[in-house]
Amino acid sequence: MSILTVNLAENSYDIHIGSGILPNLGTLCSNLGLASHAAIITNPTVNNLYGSIVKTALEKIGCTIDTIEIPDGEEYKNSETLSMVYDRLIESGLDRKSFIVALGGGVVGDLAGYAAATYLRGIPFIQIPTTLLAQVDSSVGGKTAIDHPRGKNLIGAFYQPKLVLIDIDTLSTLPTREFRAGMAEVIKYGIALDGQFFDFLEQNSDHITAMEPDVLASIVGKCCELKAQVVELDEKESGLRAVLNYGHTLGHAFETLAGYKEMVHGEAVAIGMTLAAKISSSTGFCSDPEVQRIHAIISSFGLSTNIPSIEPKKLCAAIATDKKSNGGTINFILNRGIGNFSQNPYTPEELLTLCGLEV
């Protein structure tokens, strides 16, 4: 097991990464002074797979447990589901000495984290991500949110977990589509932050696709390390942290217009990165061979690079609701070659023009 610390002064916490470490949860929580009453927020699929392990680990330290299941799917990361969670927390009698355990993928982590941030003005929570996407991205950094019909993650808060516990073994039960979607976030780190990591992904694509445990542990650890470095410098996204949104401005727009149903987050981000590379090339930040490498690595993990058939005016309106919008322009993340980035302001119309779409 490896331990990585996210250093944020009063909000610092550890990320534990390893194989078969879910049973360690009770001891880790006890060490943090969390041992009274916990609500495990999860979905039915994950609960059936790992709920009993987590519950047993917490019961061993004398913790009272309530399990709250939410429906599986991004379309349920909304105010209605959040309200149901609040009802259950109140009915279960959780107080300020209680804590929440987010057991699942990004939807569970985002919604459970926002519930923790707002219930009784904030109670502690633990992240146990069980998807690749959540392990390398959404579980680390304290972004919590729910979606709105007009945009993804528009309602949320920065609220750091007390602990992130990443058991690589949970990836063995992950559907192929979800694993591929998680690889989009992995690739993001290589393109925008670390060229050597990008090279590693290119050279080890077969081992990664085969889900070899040592390789998976290595890439999860590297992504968490890169994200922790960014979050430590810019916890609340006032500048540098925006780099983690590479591919997300257009990706979120595609997700919103698809009603959070037709494509999963990573699939949308993959297309967003494809277009970001194209825009970077048109502005002189990225060469054609580098764009080809980006397209190739995305495709090598079974992700599409094709733009969905969406009316440009609707896409333009969806981009305009992006959280990085400022005075009508979007702080768009470009890649400078492979392994570096730049931030440029564009209007939604300019972005679509650079993508080859006319509004």
Residue 269, pLDDT above cutoff 90: yes
Residue 254, pLDDT above cutoff 70: yes
252 and 153 in a single domain? The answer is no
- CATH for 22: 3.40.50.1970
- Is 96 known to be catalytic? no
- State the average pLDDT over residues 14-37: 96
Residue 251 forms part of a structural domain: yes
165 and 192 in a single domain? The answer is no
Pairing, β 143-148 against β 64-69: unpaired
Q: What confidence score (pLDDT) does residue 48 get?
A: 98
Q: Token pair of 327, please?
A: 């005075």
- Is 245 known to be catalytic? yes
Q: What confidence score (pLDDT) does residue 100 get?
A: 98
69 and 146 in a single domain? The answer is yes
299 and 285 in a single domain? The answer is yes
Share of the chain above pLDDT 70, in %: 98
Q: Which residue has the tokens 């500048």?
A: 239
Lowest mean pLDDT among 165-169, 181-185, 306-310: 306-310
- Is 227 known to be catalytic? yes
Q: What confidence score (pLDDT) does residue 323 get?
A: 64
Would you say 253 and 315 are in contact if contact means Cβ atoms under 8 Å apart? yes
Q: What confidence score (pLDDT) does residue 328 get?
A: 80
- Is 121 known to be catalytic? yes
Question: Where does a domain end: 172, 201, 225?
Answer: 172
Q: What confidence score (pLDDT) does residue 303 get?
A: 96
Q: What confidence score (pLDDT) does residue 324 get?
A: 66
Q: Could you say which of 37, 55, 88, 143 is catalytic?
A: 143
149 and 94 in a single domain? The answer is yes
Mean pLDDT of the chain: 94
198 and 310 in a single domain? The answer is yes
Binned at pLDDT 50, 70 and 90, residue 27 comes out as: very high
Question: Where does a domain end: 172, 187, 205?
Answer: 172
Cα–Cα distance measured from residue 98 to residue 120, given in angstroms and rounded to the nearest whole number:
10
- Is 80 known to be catalytic? no
Who's near 9: CB < 8 A, 6+ residues apart? Answer: none
- Is 252 known to be catalytic? yes
Q: What confidence score (pLDDT) does residue 91 get?
A: 98
- State the average pLDDT over residues 9-33: 96
What is the total count of domains within the chain?
A: 2
Question: Where does a domain end: 143, 172, 201?
Answer: 172
Q: What confidence score (pLDDT) does residue 312 get?
A: 83
Cα–Cα distance measured from residue 151 to residue 245, given in angstroms and rounded to the nearest whole number:
15
> How does pLDDT run across 1-20, given as a tens digit for each residue?
899 999 998 899 999 999 99
Q: What confidence score (pLDDT) does residue 164 get?
A: 98
Would you say 126 and 101 are in contact if contact means Cβ atoms under 8 Å apart? yes
Cα–Cα distance measured from residue 53 to residue 25, given in angstroms and rounded to the nearest whole number:
9
Residue 359 forms part of a structural domain: no
Q: What confidence score (pLDDT) does residue 116 get?
A: 98
184 and 100 in a single domain? The answer is no
> How does pLDDT run across 102-143, given as a tens digit for each residue?
999 999 999 999 999 999 999 999 999 999 999 999 999 999
**In whole angstroms, what separates CA 25 from the centre of its chain?**
21
Lowest mean pLDDT among 56-60, 147-151, 190-194, 215-219: 147-151
Phi and psi (nearest 5°) for 142? 80, 15
- CATH for 259: 1.20.1090.10
302 and 200 in a single domain? The answer is yes
Residue 326, pLDDT above cutoff 80: no
242 and 196 in a single domain? The answer is yes
Q: What confidence score (pLDDT) does residue 21 get?
A: 97
Q: Which of 104, 102, 153 is nearest to 131 (CA)?
A: 104
Cα–Cα distance measured from residue 128 to residue 162, given in angstroms and rounded to the nearest whole number:
11
pTM: 0.93
- Is 237 known to be catalytic? yes
Q: What is the 3-state secondary structure (H, E, C) of the chain?
A: CEEEEECCHHHCEEEEEECCCHHHHHHHHHHCCCCCEEEEEECHHHHHHHHHHHHHHHHCCCCEEEEEECCCCHHHCCHHHHHHHHHHHHHHCCCCCCEEEEEECHHHHHHHHHHHHHHHHCCCEEEEECCHHHHHHHCCCCEEEEEECCEEEEEEEECCCCEEEEEHHHHHHCCHHHHHHHHHHHHHHHHHCCHHHHHHHHHCHHHHHCCCHHHHHHHHHHHHHHHHHHHHHCCCCCCHHHHHHCCHHHHHHHHHHCCCCCCCHHHHHHHHHHHHHHHHHHCCCCCHHHHHHHHHHHHHCCCCCCCCCCCHHHHHHHHHCCCCEECCEEEEEEECCCCCEEEEEECHHHHHHHCCCCC
Q: Which of 186, 308, 299 is nearest to 255 (CA)?
A: 308
- Domain ranges, residue 116: 2-172
Q: What confidence score (pLDDT) does residue 151 get?
A: 86
- State the average pLDDT over residues 206-225: 95
188 and 148 in a single domain? The answer is no
Binned at pLDDT 50, 70 and 90, residue 357 comes out as: confident
Q: Could you say which of 16, 241, 293, 323 is catalytic?
A: 241
327 and 221 in a single domain? The answer is yes
Q: What confidence score (pLDDT) does residue 61 get?
A: 97
Q: What confidence score (pLDDT) does residue 311 get?
A: 86
- Is 225 known to be catalytic? no
**In whole angstroms, what separates CA 110 from the centre of its chain?**
8
Cα–Cα distance measured from residue 272 to residue 121, given in angstroms and rounded to the nearest whole number:
35
Residue 359, pLDDT above cutoff 80: no
Residue 124 forms part of a structural domain: yes
- Is 16 known to be catalytic? no
Q: Could you say which of 88, 152, 188, 265 is catalytic?
A: 265
Q: What confidence score (pLDDT) does residue 236 get?
A: 87
Residue 88, pLDDT above cutoff 90: yes
- Is 97 known to be catalytic? no
- State the average pLDDT over residues 173-200: 97
Q: What confidence score (pLDDT) does residue 203 get?
A: 96
* CA distances from residue 62 to 17, 20, 21, 165 in whole angstroms, order as listed: 25, 22, 19, 20
Residue 355, pLDDT above cutoff 90: no
Better-predicted residue by pLDDT, 355 or 289 = 289
168 and 26 in a single domain? The answer is yes
Residue 256 forms part of a structural domain: yes
Q: Could you say which of 43, 153, 245, 331 is catalytic?
A: 245
Better-predicted residue by pLDDT, 327 or 102 = 102
Residue 322, pLDDT above cutoff 80: no
Cα–Cα distance measured from residue 165 to residue 205, given in angstroms and rounded to the nearest whole number:
25
Would you say 204 and 215 are in contact if contact means Cβ atoms under 8 Å apart? yes
